[in-house]
């Protein structure tokens, strides 16, 4: 049986930060937020990703700002969100498989061969998150079909981490911020092993995870210490240009080497 669906196709994005070359579409986005969006565990208190500062209309989320500034962004995110949220688990799997198949075919054509020196990289997702368990299982099923591709992903949907953290070609980051630090670290400890690619990233105005943990009364167990020294995203700190930043930096896309990442929010 064909794994195609008849309900549409995911609209991929050529994201300036994640792409390797200008026409590469190696990611797609979904609507952000927890009110009609795909981020059921977005954090709304001060310091959180979906916090709306007093006197402002938009949350701190960079995607909300992009949707406001560029009229073409929201319709694409709405399309992908409606498509996936309205699909069965099997349909979601097929939609993702079709998107990954499209991406791999484009990379093989550009490479001139199906044999790559290094696997092509695909980000899940540049916007949005894992909105339910069915979608998490669909991601796992689709990613497993394409071992030729290396995927990386950030999530606040900690509930679904066990479904996604033991896939060999998926690097999964728990997206921590000042609001969800305690739950994020608990989830990390419960799911991290020596054989999986589960990591930590921390989003805040300053690189202060250790100090923040002290204010929360969190004392790191010895097995967590080596993961708490955060490398910085050079794009966020202005040390590297946005264009192709992920492909040139590759801190997030390499096999984890006990490093965690700080993103300036």
pLDDT in tens, 10-20: 999 999 999 99
| Residues in Cβ contact with 239 at an 8 Å cutoff, skipping those fewer than 6 apart | 232
Residue 95 within any structural domain of the chain:
yes
**pLDDT at residue number 8:** 83
Q: What is the per-residue pLDDT for 255?
A: 66
d(Cα 68, Cα 74) in Å, to the nearest integer? 8
As for how many domains the chain has, the answer is 1
Q: What is the pLDDT of residue 194?
A: 80
Confidence of residue 256 (pLDDT cuts 50, 70, 90): low
In a domain, residue 40? The reply is yes
Confidence tier at 119 by pLDDT (50, 70, 90): very high
Q: How far apart are CA 75 and CA 13, in angstroms?
A: 12
pLDDT at 147 over 50: yes
Contacts of 143 (CB under 8 A, 6+ apart): 96, 100, 124, 149, 151, 167, 169, 170
Query: For every residue of the chain, which 3-state class applies, written as one string?
Result: CCCCCCCCCCCCECCCCCCCCCCCCCEEECCCCCCCCCCCCCCCCCCCCCCCCCCCCCCCCHHHHHHHHCCCHHHHHHHHHHHHHCCCHHHHHHHHHHHHHHHHHHHHHHHCCCCCCCCCEEEEEEECCCCCHHHHHHHHHHHHHCCCCEEEEEECCHHHHHHHCCCCCEEEEEEECCCCHHHHHHHHHHHCCCCCCEEEEEEECCCCHHHHHHHHCCCCCHHHHCCCCEEECCCCCCCCCCCCHHHHHCCCCCCCCCCEEEEEC
Give pLDDT, residue 1: 29
Instruction: State which residues form the domain around 123.
Output: 28-264
Q: Give Cα 120 to chain centroid, integer Å.
A: 16
Calculate the average pLDDT of the chain: 92
pLDDT higher than threshold 50 for residue 37: yes
pLDDT at res. 7? 63
In a domain, 22, yes or no: no
Helices 89-111 & 133-145, crossing angle to 10 degrees? Answer: 30
d(CA 43, CA 33): 9
Residue 251 lies in a domain: yes
Binned at pLDDT 50, 70 and 90, residue 259 comes out as confident
pLDDT tens per residue, range 224-233: 888 998 999 9
According to the model, what pLDDT value does residue 6 have?
A: 47
- Which pLDDT score, from 0 to 100, does residue 143 have? 98
Average pLDDT over residues 35-51: 91
Give how far the C-alpha of residue 206 lies from the chain's centroid of Cα atoms, to the nearest Å. 21
The pLDDT, as a whole number, for residue 3 is 37
| Stretch 173-179: mean pLDDT | 96
Q: In this predicted structure, what is the pLDDT of residue 57?
A: 86
Q: Does residue 209 lie in a domain region? A: yes
Give me the percent of the chain exceeding a pLDDT of 70. 96
Whether residue 13 is contained in a domain is answered as no
Asked whether the predicted pLDDT for residue 2 surpasses 80, the reply is no
Find the mean pLDDT for residues 72-101.
Answer: 97
In this prediction, residue 258 carries a pLDDT of: 63
Domain annotation covers residue 23: no
Check whether 144 has a pLDDT greater than 80.
yes
Instruction: Please give the pLDDT value at position 257.
Output: 61
* 4 confidence band (pLDDT: 50, 70, 90): very low
pTM: 0.94
What pLDDT is stored for residue 118 in this prediction? 93
- 64-90 average pLDDT score: 94
């Amino acid at each position: 049986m064909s794994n195609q669906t008849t309900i549409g196709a995911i609209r991929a994005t050529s994201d300036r930060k994640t792409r390797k070359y200008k026409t590469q579409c190696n990611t797609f986005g979904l609507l952000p937020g927890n009110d009609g969006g795909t981020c059921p565990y977005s954090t709304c208190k001060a310091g959180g990703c979906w916090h709306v500062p007093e006197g402002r209309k938009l949350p701190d989320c960079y995607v909300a700002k992009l949707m406001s500034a560029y009229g073409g962004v929201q319709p694409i995110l709405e399309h992908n969100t409606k498509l996936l949220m309205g699909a069965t688990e099997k349909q979601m799997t097929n939609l993702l498989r079709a998107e990954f198949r499209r991406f791999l075919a484009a990379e093989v054509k550009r490479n001139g061969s199906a044999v790559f020196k290094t696997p092509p990289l695909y980000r899940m997702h540049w916007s949005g998150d894992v909105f339910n368990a069915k979608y998490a299982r669909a991601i796992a099923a689709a990613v497993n079909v394409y071992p030729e591709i290396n995927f990386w992903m950030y999530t606040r949907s900690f509930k679904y981490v066990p479904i996604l953290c033991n896939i060999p070609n998926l690097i999964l980051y728990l997206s921590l911020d000042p609001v969800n630090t305690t739950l994020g670290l608990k989830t990390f400890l419960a799911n991290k092993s020596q054989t999986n690619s589960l990591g930590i990233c921390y989003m805040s105005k300053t690189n202060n995870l250790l100090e923040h943990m002290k204010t929360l009364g969190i004392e790191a167990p010895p097995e967590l210490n080596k993961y708490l020294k955060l490398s910085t995203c050079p794009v966020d700190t202005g040390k590297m240009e946005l264009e192709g930043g992920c492909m040139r930096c590759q801190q997030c896309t390499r096999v984890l080497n006990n490093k965690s990442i700080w993103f300036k929010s």
